[in-house]
Copies of this chain bind each other. A is one copy, B any other.
């Protein structure tokens, strides 16, 4: 493995993206990394030099990749500002993919209701590998807003109320796997979240019935989260509500937790009825 490739892996690992081991078609690994980085940059886009810095690849290489991604419609470039954005083709593909991972379109209504009822900001997070990704933020009417989490942000599972709800919903063996996989990142970038601390948080979450983040990432940025399960029990997402400490005193926590649970089960029923498990019949069993 070349030196710069180590650096990619290292940098991305720190940022919560794991480029993974690559054997063959390495261009695609780089392209995927760039897509993630552009996606994380959000609606204001990124600049070439930012991307070069973030993925530690030489500029011409990044530029070539970007050109190819533009050509494919997977990215967009503003011709004035020269900034790069996610492209129309990604949107189309994502829409088609939602037939399989259709939590989002269903959960949207829940988020709107939650943010209206509570006044605070509601989030939908989904698990991806050993991370949780915030895929939607719905602002509530209350004027003091917590902006610690943005759509596109990735954190190790267990960090933040949504991610903690997801982690606590996994069986213990999976929890340990996740903690092991994230050990380096946690130690490096999330000092309050040592493996033992996370085990404690998971226990608390399970007994309490909802996940609580008492400002562990950003002081006075509190949040409550609950997980959403597929019919086979696997967690496929988490709803959470963020507010300042003064708005999350114990009694209100309970109110909000019950609202969250109501919406979670609402989503679960919708998910199961639109998920007919439409699999082709043929079965094989000859894996190496």
Is the CB–CB distance between B24 and A64 below 8 Å?
A: yes
Residues of B close to A104: CB separation below 8 A: 91, 95, 105
Is the CB–CB distance between B135 and A42 below 8 Å?
A: no
Does A208 reach chain B (CB closer than 8 Å)? no
Chain A 20-53 interface mask (CB, 8 Å, partner B; 1/0): 1111111111011001100110111100000000
Expressed in whole angstroms, the Cα–Cα distance for A278 and B89 within the complex equals 21
Does A217 reach chain B (CB closer than 8 Å)? no
Q: How many residues of A contact B (CB 8 A)?
A: 72
Residues of B close to A45: CB separation below 8 A: 280
Residues of B close to A78: CB separation below 8 A: 279
Task: Among A36, A73, A97, A282, find the residue whose CB has the most chain B CB atoms closer than 10 A.
Answer: A97
Interface residues of chain A, those whose CB is within 8 Å of chain B, are: 20-29, 31-32, 35-36, 39-40, 42-45, 64-65, 67-69, 71-74, 76, 78-83, 85-101, 104-105, 108, 126, 128-129, 133, 135-136, 151-152, 278-280, 282-285, 287
